Structure 1
Amino acid sequence: MTANTRWFWLAIFSVTGLLLYLLAPILLPFIVGALLAYLGDPLVDRLETYNISRSNSVVIVFVVVLGILLPFFIILIPLLEDQIQVFITKVPNYIKWVGDSLRPMLESVGIAIPQVDIEKFGQALTKEWSVTGGLLKNIIGALSKSGIAVMGWVVNALLIPVITFYLLRDWDRLVAYIRELLPRNVESKFSELAKESDEMLGAFLRGQVMVMFALSLIYSVGLSVVGVDFALLIGIIAGIISFIPYMGLIVGISIAAISAIVETQSFIMVGGVVAVFVIAQVFEGFFLTPMLVGDRIGLHPVTVIFAVLAGGQLFGFFGILLALPISAVLAVLLRHAHDSYLESQIYRL
């Protein structure tokens, strides 16, 4: 690779990085749309094998996905709203229990805990929730009062399916166009890296979504059987954040254990809570992850945690969405760079 070529690629990557940084606030619908199109492309390709046109295949995928998700959310949102409402009324009890349990230990080592008027705090939470009237009314009220910021979110929400549709329809054409733009001397290498990244990343993303859904279901059902309040809410939260290694387990078991102790004033139910999460983790480790995800991403758990935190720090929610896909691609590039280094004259000196 000549010096001019190196400078050319350095300029391309620098300009691209600068544009991503500057345009980050408006890129969210495009990134989400691209991820959804990427996840849906294999389904559309499969339908095309039955001599269905690309556009009709995309429409079929959209209709099927909406037909599955829409009733699910129509049922789920009211249930979550009820659990959040009950949770808010019981937050003061949780704070009181934590304060009464931890204050003596912390004060014994010289750490002062500020007093909280639990009764007034609970009244304020209850009043706030009753004024807003719940999730749906809260959203509608925000739409009418928040102005430009909320309108931006509304526009993004409307843009995501539109962008997804067009990207999904033209996905193969866009990939071919990008491949044509690559210089001929690097096209084969880029294609090799892209294929390897696609095989690893595609399997990981599609599998991880299914693992998150399965864990949310297992946690929710298991905690309901044990008798934990807010089982659905806790299960969904723990399942969603399970893509960060051990985070779903730690957060879920902590919240569920505190809820069980406060409600029963006993540690007996905590055993059931621990059993639910242990069984779920064993099931995930031996069945869900091997079958749905496999070991294709090749990222150490510490690397995953760092990538998510770094992405959130640099680009907010947009960065969190991109953290794992970019890390997976970088893992492929670093693996090839490592192999090239071992074969180079620098290493053999």
Structure 2
Amino acid sequence: MNRWDSTPVIRFLGGRKLLYILGVFFLIGLNLLVYTRLDFIFKPLVVFVETVALPIILSVVVYYLLRPIINLMESWKIKRIWAILITLLVVIGLITLLIVLIIPFLEKQFVSLAEELPRYLRDLINTADQWLRDSVFGEYYSNLFQDVNGVLNQLPDLPSYAAQTIEGITGFITTLTNVVVALVTLPFILFYLLKDGHKLPNKIVSLFPPKARSQVISVFKGIDHQLSAYIQGQIIVSFCIGVMMYIGFLIIGLDYALLLAAIASVTSVVPYLGPMIAITPALIIAIVTSPFMVLKLAFVWTVVQLLEGKFISPQIMGKSLHIHPVTIIFVLLTAGHLYGIIGIILAIPGFAILKVLVSHVFYWMQRRYNKFVEVEDQYHIDQD
């Protein structure tokens, strides 16, 4: 027996190919070291990735949303190119209708809420201050905060302070430029992605050795399943939450119902943490309005969360991701700390892709160690 196959652990890790695997990891680490030491050489590559990342991510999201429609139209004997053009024209028309009819109203509500926000904060602090002074902890609270009015008097000046402390105008312009470029290039990238995207995996698979192609195909199938299930399901669930929240806010008579429902719909894209973020502005307005409004808001929020958790999400998304809620929360917190808002948005699909890759790699290593594993078991990961 070769010295590389001397123990079960070594055989499990690849046997005689273990040295090759370790060499690959060494080269990867060496590349990372070179990158950190000579980052100015790779700066153009980083700028390129940052520039194309946003339009590509947006295109992939819209691709997974429109792909079922394109496939359905193809089943109706409509040529793919015509199906794509018709779908894009309909989507552009709907976006134009949204901009013309809804966006101006949302903008008006947003401006009004921004103007009223200092007053809401002032009333909220006054209410909390009065409640604490009348509570059993009133004496301790009074000793700690002798002059809460001095803090309140600064609230009207918050906009001026914010205006004076705004920095990074160049960064803002760069971000705005990237967004504009992404929106302009989105239709073109999306068109070719819808037209030839289904051919891309086969092109990539052809670059691998014939023996590894079946395994690479299973990886692509797993990633495609995870992304399509998450993106399509999460968008539909978020839309349903927004509609239910809007109806609920209208019923209880909460101010800025459409704006708050839109915020709830957008933030619901982030699992678990999104709803907590969405309830904050609505809760502030409800507390300032009346205690009874807080109870009505709590009732609406509870009903919406129950409907979403018990009926909508299980029917639309099911258990496609197979990720424990605690794991999701840890992934979101870590990604948010490292990469901010973008990290939070991309955390779950990124983790799902990583999970597919790690699962396949572990299974391949397991098959290498156990030569009696059935070939059919190779595809069990695709169902995760």
Conservation of the 8 A alpha-carbon contact between 2:64 and 2:232: no
The answer to which structure, 1 or 2, has the higher relative contact order (CA under 8 A, 6+ apart) is 2
Question: Partners of 1:107 and 1:55 in 2: how far apart?
Answer: 74
Note the 1:2-17 alignment, pairs <5 A. Answer: 2-3=17-18, 6=21
The residue aligned with 2:50 is: 25
Note the 1:288-303 alignment, pairs <5 A. Answer: 288-303=312-327
Conservation of the 8 A alpha-carbon contact between 1:219 and 1:277: yes
Conservation of the 8 A alpha-carbon contact between 2:273 and 2:329: no
| Aligned partner letter, 1:108 | Y
Conservation of the 8 A alpha-carbon contact between 1:220 and 1:231: yes
| Aligned partner letter, 2:121 | I
- What's the offset of the Cα at 1:106? 9.4
Note the 1:173-184 alignment, pairs <5 A. Answer: 173-184=199-210
Is 1:243 aligned to 2:247, yes or no?
no
Is 1:211 aligned to 2:237, yes or no?
yes
Question: Partners of 2:320 and 2:301 in 1: how far apart?
Answer: 25
- What's the offset of the Cα at 1:319? 3.6
Question: Partners of 2:26 and 2:235 in 1: how far apart?
Answer: 36
Question: Partners of 2:319 and 2:20 in 1: how far apart?
Answer: 35
| Aligned partner letter, 1:36 | V
Note the 1:68-79 alignment, pairs <5 A. Answer: 68-79=94-105
Note the 1:1-349 alignment, pairs <5 A. Answer: 2-3=17-18, 6=21, 22-23=46-47, 24-26=49-51, 27-103=53-129, 104=132, 108=140, 112=145, 121-122=155-156, 125=159, 150-263=176-289, 266-336=290-360
The residue aligned with 1:132 is: none
SS at match of 1:170: helix
SS at match of 1:191: helix
Gap runs ≥5 in structure 2: 1-13, 36-41, 164-168, 371-384
| Aligned partner letter, 1:272 | K
CA 314–187 in structure 1, closer or farther in 2 if over 3 Å, else same: farther
Please give the TM-score of this superposition, normalised by the length of structure 2: 0.72
- What's the offset of the Cα at 1:244? 2.9
| Aligned partner letter, 1:282 | L
Conservation of the 8 A alpha-carbon contact between 1:91 and 1:122: no
- What's the offset of the Cα at 1:231? 1.4
| Deviations, residues 207-266 of structure 1 (Å, cap 9, x unaligned) | 110100110111112112101111112111122212333334323334323212212xx3
Gap runs ≥5 in structure 1: 130-141
| Aligned partner letter, 1:97 | D
User: Over aligned residue pairs, what C-alpha RMSD do you find?
Assistant: 3.7
SS at match of 2:268: helix
Conservation of the 8 A alpha-carbon contact between 2:270 and 2:344: no
Q: How many aligned positions are there?
A: 329
The residue aligned with 1:139 is: none
Conservation of the 8 A alpha-carbon contact between 2:120 and 2:288: yes
The residue aligned with 1:134 is: none
| Aligned partner letter, 1:187 | R
| Deviations, residues 316-338 of structure 1 (Å, cap 9, x unaligned) | 55444432222112223344456
CA 269–41 in structure 1, closer or farther in 2 if over 3 Å, else same: same
CA 339–116 in structure 1, closer or farther in 2 if over 3 Å, else same: farther
- What's the offset of the Cα at 1:342? 7.2
CA 111–51 in structure 1, closer or farther in 2 if over 3 Å, else same: farther
